[in-house]
Amino acid sequence: MSALLGAGVAIGFGAPVLAQTTTSYSITHGFSFSVGGNTTPLVRGFDGGSAFAFSPYVSPPAAFSSYVNLSYPLGPPWTRSDSVSVSRGLASATASSYTQINSLGVGTVSGFINASGTASALERGETACANSYTGVTARQRIRLPFGGVIWGPRFALDFVSGGGCAVGKDPIKFTVTDPDTGAILNSGQFLDITSTGDGTVNWDDDSLDFAISNGTFSIDLNSPFIPDNQRGTLLLKVQGGIITDSQDTGIFDGYLPQIGSSGTFSVSGSDFKPDLTFDYDLGDFGKEVDLELTADGGAIPVPESSTMNPLSLGVLGLIFLGGKRFWRSSSKK
């Protein structure tokens, strides 16, 4: 059995900003997987990140650095951290990844992962970008693929931008494979969190906070392999700072304001669930199978062409191909 856990994503983009702009994010997921079986899962980690800074006032004007670790063992000590920083003129960027395993036992693994960083562009024409991602895998072979997941999204962002939009995905998927033939017996998705557009979304222990100008936020926890009383969906659409579509069902019922309300609001109180907890049962395949659970996240901005030079756009493409977390700080007057 394999469980793959990746850092979640929250995206925010604001209106055009003046110089002296700094943006930052910290994205954390606490996780606990009960995967069954009578052995301890083999745990490995992965991470990556990149940072880019551009200033037309120095030579050379651009700096770029990155790190990518496709797979590394997670044994004592049960932590791993990586980071990278660059600067050109008054533009700078830092990206970091951190993984921690808190417990590992027969059929279980828990811990937390974090992707964080900052970007600063203090003069007209400067641009700073950064992205990072991290995750862990826990591999286990099992006779009956059923178990439980606790997934704790935590978003803490301070995003501003010169224009454009962002798209982010935060899914938890599953794949059941025949260990003898390698054939995929079943695959699908337990959870998907998607955010697009212009604004901020912050998720912490006490509340889920929205400040969206134009964009969409959705949660789909509606797999047929999850019990009915643990399912739910949420769909929020905002245009011009006003909610144009508001749908919440199941465990998310009552989260969203009515259509016509402001796109800036908070979800809190006794009905708010800071952690997403669910069971799954994929059935009996008549033999031992390999189960892979994948929890991953990604984000990419789509900037307005007038806000960035061709060199910056090329580097943005490289950053997206190499990473899962992205934000941009761009200064203009």
124 pLDDT more than 90: no
Ranges of H-type helices in 194-262: none
Nearest alpha carbon to residue 278 among 166, 206, 201, 190: 190
Check residues 195 and 222 and name the one with the higher pLDDT: 222
The pLDDT, as a whole number, for residue 83 is 94
Q: What are the residues facing 167 on neighbouring strands?
A: 196, 300
Pick left, alpha or beta for residue 217 (phi over 0 → left; psi -120 to 50 → alpha; otherwise beta). Answer: beta
- Position 259 scores a pLDDT of 97
Which tokens sit at 323?
Answer: 């990473």
Q: Under a CB-based contact definition with an 8 Å cutoff, are residues 329 and 128 in contact?
A: yes
- Asked if the model's pLDDT at residue 251 lies above 70, the reply is yes
Span 298-316, average pLDDT: 41
Q: Report yes or no: 71 and 44 within 8 Å, Cβ to Cβ.
A: yes
In the predicted structure, residue 2 carries a pLDDT above the cut 90: no
With beta carbons less than 8 A apart as the criterion, state whether 182 and 188 touch: no
Look at residue 129 in the predicted model and tell me its pLDDT.
79
Place 140 in a pLDDT band, splitting at 50, 70 and 90.
Answer: confident
What are the residues whose beta carbons fall under 8 Å from the beta carbon of 314, sequence distance 6 or more? none
Of 159-163, 249-253, 273-277, give the range with the top mean pLDDT. Answer: 249-253
128-157: average pLDDT:
79
Radius of gyration, CA atoms only, the chain = 21
Q: What is the mean pLDDT of residues 89-98?
A: 88
| pLDDT tens digits for range 21-69 | 666 667 777 888 887 788 888 787 888 888 888 899 999 999 999 999 8
Cα–Cα distances (Å) from 134 to 28, 36, 267, 299, in that order, read 10, 24, 27, 13
Round to whole Å and give the CA distance between 174 and 292. Answer: 5
Beta bridge partners of 249: 233
Whether residue 313 is predicted with pLDDT greater than 80 in this model: the reply is no
Peptide bond into 303 cis (omega under 30): no
Mean pLDDT, residues 282-300 taken together = 76
Who wins on pLDDT, 27 or 248?
248
pLDDT at 178 over 90: yes
- pLDDT value at position 155? 67
> Amino acid identity, residue 32?
S
Query: Smallest Cα–Cα separation from 94: which of 14, 167, 24, 166?
Result: 24
Q: How confident is the model at residue 281 (pLDDT cuts 50, 70, 90)?
A: very high
